[in-house]
Structure 1
Amino acid sequence: MGLMEALLRHHGPATAHNIYQTTCPIVKASIGQHIRHSMDHIEHAVRAALDPEHELHYDRRERGGADENQWDAAHDRLHKIANLIDNLSSTASDSVTEHPVGALFMLSGDTDTEFRLHSTLARELGFAAHHAIHHLAMVKIIATNEVGKLKESDLPPDFGRAPSTVNYDHSLK
């Protein structure tokens, strides 16, 4: 949320919403595409936790939806996913988080063949969170360069940085 607040503060609503959907020439994607992609992964994992029959097809996602192009739709989806996580947190037990799941990935762009990896819900929730951090690093590039024109100091501290990197940097002080 801190990213959009910074964009709104510096550019006003119309320009901030335009920046959200503008493709960055450096990374060939928009802030909205990275946010939608991250939400897709998190939502897949949470839905698998809520429905043990749900398989995680990470590469079968709907692209170009409202949450990718409209900040308000993304904001609504973020809150829905946060509520799902809250519900999961209140009912989670070892039997839920350690439930075995199949995580399916495409390992080549030459074919749409998916490969099944055996995993657990806890592992996939961790993967989705860690994966989102790396996409936020790309969002940071977009937000602080040609498209967003923000300063790094405009963003929340450690935005888009892996927890291990933050921890390491703190150990150097």
Structure 2
Amino acid sequence: MSTTPAREQLFDSAASYLRHLGGVLDGVGDDKYTQESHALPGSTIGKHVRHVLDHFSLLLAALEGADPQQTGPLGVVDYAHRERSPATESTVAGGRAAIERVIADMARVRALPLPPGGWICVCDTLPGGAEGRYESSVDRELWFCLHHMVHHNAIIAGLMHELGLDPPTEFAYAPSTIKHSS
């Protein structure tokens, strides 16, 4: 396994945050999981869980097929073309199962001999509809998925408050915010 301490920390943090999300869902019934927000029309806890997992899944799938010996990108991650899983967003059990799948996928990818300096191609839709393609690194995209998750956890916490649920305080904050406020 070719890795760096920073990458190990990213994998550890991502798995920890995913487990924490799964634990938070234990206090949410299917009715609240799928109830649309009045403050954010069309938004549900389940849709945000699915959205977060989509990003991790795309990155991990691109890396699972990586050939560390190739000279080009290790993989292509296209965040604009996600397959949305109705099962993940429609029941808490579906969301928890998807979280466990992503954690298992992450463990498999973590064990791959991905070179520390390996790069990947990232695609997404830009404002105005144009498709953008960029070079990025495995570590940068792991960080992005984790950071992206923290922001959606904050939205999920807000939705939980709207629905009369009480999420853990630290669930809605970035690690840097928690560290700074200690």
Scaled by the length of structure 2, the TM-score of the pair is: 0.77
Report how far residue 20 of structure 1 moved.
Answer: 0.5
Distance 1:140 1:92, change over 3 A: farther
| Cα shift readout 1:1-24 (whole Å, capped 9, x = no counterpart) | 2222223xxxxxxxx101101111
After TM superposition, list the pairs within 5 Å mapping 1:93-112 onto structure 2.
93=114, 95=115, 97-108=116-127, 110-111=128-129
Gaps of 5+ in 2: 1-21, 67-73
**Percent identical across equivalent pairs?**
24
- Give the RMSD, CA atoms, in angstroms: 1.7
Aligned length: 153
Measure, in 1, the Cα distance between the counterparts of 2:37 and 2:132: 31
Gaps of 5+ in 1: 8-15
Partner of 1:67: 88
Equivalent of 1:120, from 95, 113, 137? 137
Partner of 2:36: 23
More off after superposition, 133-142 vs 64-73: 64-73
Measure, in 2, the Cα distance between the counterparts of 1:31 and 1:98: 36
Does residue 77 of the first structure (1) align with residue 98 of the second (2)?
yes
Distance 1:64 1:88, change over 3 A: closer
Report how far residue 85 of structure 1 moved.
Answer: 1.0
Partner of 1:35: 49
Partner of 2:171: 159
Report how far residue 98 of structure 1 moved.
Answer: 3.1
Partner of 1:48: 62
Distance 1:19 1:133, change over 3 A: same
Equivalent of 2:159, from 131, 142, 161? 142
Matched to 1:71, the amino acid is V
Distance 1:92 1:134, change over 3 A: farther
Report how far residue 156 of structure 1 moved.
Answer: 3.2
Measure, in 1, the Cα distance between the counterparts of 2:32 and 2:24: 11
Scaled by the length of structure 1, the TM-score of the pair is: 0.81
Measure, in 2, the Cα distance between the counterparts of 1:98 and 1:71: 38
